[in-house]
């Protein structure tokens, strides 16, 4: 659908602005959109067949998720349709995954064409697509900036493909340990540094550098020699103590998606990168959620000064628009120390996943696409900036994230989860982030009408919460 039915049915005039006369001229008074206060998509409503299916499947699926009785049957663009044929505007993109939206016709054609030729062959042999996607990632990184590479340099990088972001981070940690052992201090150079509010995955290694008791406690003891620093720490003495001669690797997110959409300061990255080079440690930027143009540039660090560039970048989520894939991109100096047999994968780099990745990366890096993305990102930013002014008792006066990874931070910890539920019951899907925020990560094809619709629902829901707080 070029214009989703959801938006055709309900496209009220925005009520965000009202003019009020003052003694001296006119001033602009912000007023929230109140058009979506009525519940239209109650969680409790679902066909009997859906309730039966959920009850049956619950007997067999491991209980690691708390889910409403909501079963999605199909999707198109930013619209998901449930078993009652209700349409939801998806501002989660499958947790920052479906960059080109649901059921993209061109991607569907690539899946069909490639699966008819070859879906999987194994890494014991070459295939046509893995090397081509690796080449595209390196060359586009040189073009757009990142990993300390530029189009004028002979130095390049190498790519290892995995199945997920967690596996990409796991591999990056292994590469850092291996590189450290070749530094002349193999016994002691094993420490890995991570930072507060980080989320790097749920395998034992990635979990060990995700310093959140909620995730870690059931699985302790985790891997040893992990040190946790404060995100955005600028005191050089503290950084020097944290990152020392025993440090083999440092892993950090330029924008912390799961941890609250906090963004690192350039000075912070300059200081930790400088210290990493002084002690011979590998600097890893986890761009699994903020990379591949979601921040507005190819990498969230693309425009960082050269002295703040990493040695390794990990990626996953949008690379194949929902088909499982992850990747580790490393500078040549690291790649030279990784020899055959040191790391491997059964499914990573398979022909089908990488064929989709080639197409997705070409689409995302198209100049016309990027121009529209930046324009719509600015539009979303302008709408988000109004929210703290409208709801000063609910929302912190701070901006989080950039591009199309945005966070709205609240003064009360219960507000994010309450807002997610209220929005869902009005046909909008959003995410929580950390302990105090919601996260907006729509598909990168989002348009202004969809932004208006989403912000309108959020404003209506915040008005409800605002009234409840005042009672």
Rounded CA gap, 321 and 362, in Å? 12
**Which residues are CB-contacts of 65 (< 8 A; sequence separation ≥ 6)?**
none
**Which residues are CB-contacts of 95 (< 8 A; sequence separation ≥ 6)?**
289, 317, 431, 441
Do 331 and 456 lie in one domain? The reply is: no
In order of 65, 290, 456, the CA distances from 318 in angstroms are 22, 10, 27
Domain boundary (342, 364, 386) is at 364
Pairing between β-strand 431-433 and β-strand 437-440 as defined by DSSP bridges: antiparallel
- 36, two tokens: 């979506």
Taking Cα atoms as reference points, which of 292, 382, 377, 278 lies closest to residue 99? 292
Do 67 and 116 lie in one domain? The reply is: no
Taking Cα atoms as reference points, which of 201, 325, 323, 338 lies closest to residue 282? 338
State the CATH number of the domain containing residue 148: 3.40.640.10
Name residue, tokens 């912070």: 268
Residue-level pLDDT, tens digit, the chain, 471 residues: 444 444 434 444 344 433 333 333 444 578 999 999 999 999 989 999 999 999 999 999 999 999 999 999 999 999 999 999 999 999 999 999 999 999 999 999 999 999 999 999 999 999 999 999 999 999 999 999 999 998 777 789 999 999 999 999 999 999 999 999 887 677 789 999 999 999 999 999 999 999 999 999 999 999 999 999 999 999 999 999 999 999 999 999 999 999 999 999 999 999 999 999 999 999 999 999 999 999 999 999 999 999 999 999 999 999 999 999 999 999 999 999 999 999 999 999 999 999 999 999 999 999 999 999 999 999 999 999 999 999 999 999 999 999 999 999 999 999 999 999 999 999 999 999 999 999 999 999 999 999 999 999 999 999 999 999 887
Do 305 and 383 lie in one domain? The reply is: no
Specify the 3-state DSSP secondary structure of 228.
Answer: strand
User: What φ, ψ does residue 142 adopt, rounded to 5°?
Assistant: -65, -40
Rounded CA gap, 126 and 132, in Å? 11
Range of the domain at 66: 5-103+367-470
Helices (H), 324-399: 332-335, 351-364, 367-390
Query: In a 10 Å sphere around its CB, with 0-12 CB exposed, 13-18 middle and 19+ buried, how is residue 230 labelled?
Result: middle
Please name every residue paired with 427 in a beta bridge, in sequence order, or none if there are none: none
CB 154 within 8 A of CB 319: no
Do 332 and 302 lie in one domain? The reply is: yes
Rounded CA gap, 359 and 323, in Å? 12
Indicate yes or no: pTM above 0.75: yes
How many Cβ atoms are within 10 Å of 465's Cβ, its own excluded?
19
Do 238 and 173 lie in one domain? The reply is: yes
How many Cβ atoms are within 10 Å of 377's Cβ, its own excluded?
21
Name residue, tokens 């001033």: 27
Domain boundary (364, 385, 406) is at 364
Name residue, tokens 């899946």: 111
How many Cβ atoms are within 10 Å of 17's Cβ, its own excluded?
10
Helices (H), 90-159: 93-96, 105-117, 130-144
How many Cβ atoms are within 10 Å of 11's Cβ, its own excluded?
14
Do 170 and 94 lie in one domain? The reply is: no
In order of 53, 116, 149, 157, the CA distances from 372 in angstroms are 41, 34, 26, 30
Pairing between β-strand 191-195 and β-strand 226-229 as defined by DSSP bridges: parallel
Domains of the chain: total: 2
Taking Cα atoms as reference points, which of 458, 399, 469 lies closest to residue 426? 458
State the CATH number of the domain containing residue 43: 3.90.1150.10
In order of 72, 180, 394, the CA distances from 87 in angstroms are 9, 52, 28
CB 93 within 8 A of CB 437: no
Do 221 and 131 lie in one domain? The reply is: yes
Do 148 and 25 lie in one domain? The reply is: no
CB 145 within 8 A of CB 302: yes
How many Cβ atoms are within 10 Å of 71's Cβ, its own excluded?
17
CB 409 within 8 A of CB 395: yes
Do 414 and 462 lie in one domain? The reply is: yes
Do 72 and 192 lie in one domain? The reply is: no
Name residue, tokens 């008005």: 463
Do 172 and 215 lie in one domain? The reply is: yes
Domain boundary (364, 393, 416) is at 364
Rounded CA gap, 141 and 135, in Å? 10
Do 348 and 417 lie in one domain? The reply is: no
């Amino acid at each position: 659908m070029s214009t989703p039915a959801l938006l055709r049915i309900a496209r009220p005039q925005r009520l965000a602005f009202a003019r009020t006369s003052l003694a001296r001229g006119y001033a602009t008074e912000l007023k929230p959109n109140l058009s979506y206060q009525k519940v239209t998509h109650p969680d409790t409503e679902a066909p009997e067949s859906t309730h039966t299916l959920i009850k049956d499947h619950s007997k067999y699926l491991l209980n690691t998720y708390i889910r409403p009785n909501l079963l999605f049957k199909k999707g198109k663009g930013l619209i998901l349709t449930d078993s009652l044929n209700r349409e939801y505007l998806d501002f989660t993109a499958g947790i920052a995954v479906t960059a080109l939206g649901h059921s993209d016709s061109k991607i569907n054609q690539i899946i069909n064409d490639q699966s008819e030729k070859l879906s999987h062959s194994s890494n014991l042999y070459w295939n046509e697509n893995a090397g081509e996607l690796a080449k595209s990632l390196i060359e586009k990184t040189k073009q757009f900036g990142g990993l300390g590479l530029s189009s004028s340099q002979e130095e390049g990088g190498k790519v290892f493909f995995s199945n997920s972001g967690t596996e990409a981070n796991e591999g990056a940690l292994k590469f850092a340990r291996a590189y450290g052992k070749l530094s002349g201090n193999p016994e002691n150079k094993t420490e890995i540094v991570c930072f507060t509010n980080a989320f790097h995955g749920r395998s034992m290694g990635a979990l060990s550098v995700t310093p959140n008791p909620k995730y870690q406690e059931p699985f302790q003891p985790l891997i040893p020699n992990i040190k946790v620093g404060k995100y955005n720490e600028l005191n050089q003495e503290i950084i020097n103590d944290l990152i020392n001669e025993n440090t083999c690797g440092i892993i950090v997110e330029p924008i912390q998606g799961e941890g609250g959409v906090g963004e690192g300061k350039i000075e912070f990255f300059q200081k930790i990168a400088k210290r990493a080079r002084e002690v011979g440690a590998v600097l890893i930027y986890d761009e699994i959620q903020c990379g591949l143009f979601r921040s507005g540039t190819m990498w969230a660090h693309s425009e960082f000064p050269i002295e703040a560039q990493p040695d390794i970048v990990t990626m996953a989520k949008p690379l194949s628009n929902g088909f499982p894939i992850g990747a580790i991109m490393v500078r040549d100096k690291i790649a030279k120390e990784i020899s055959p047999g040191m790391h491997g994968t059964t499914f990573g780099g398979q022909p089908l996943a990488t064929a989709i990745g080639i197409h997705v990366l070409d689409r995302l890096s198209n100049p016309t696409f990027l121009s529209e993305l930046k324009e719509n990102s600015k539009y979303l930013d302008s709408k988000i900036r109004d929210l703290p002014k409208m709801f000063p008792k609910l929302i912190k006066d701070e901006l989080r994230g950039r591009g199309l990874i945005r966070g709205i931070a609240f003064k009360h910890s219960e507000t994010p989860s309450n807002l997610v539920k209220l929005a869902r019951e009005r046909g909008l899907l959003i995410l929580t982030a950390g302990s105090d925020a919601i996260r907006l990560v729509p598909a990168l094809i989002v348009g202004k009408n969809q932004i208006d619709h989403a912000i309108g629902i959020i404003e209506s829901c915040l008005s409800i919460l605002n009234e409840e707080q005042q009672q």
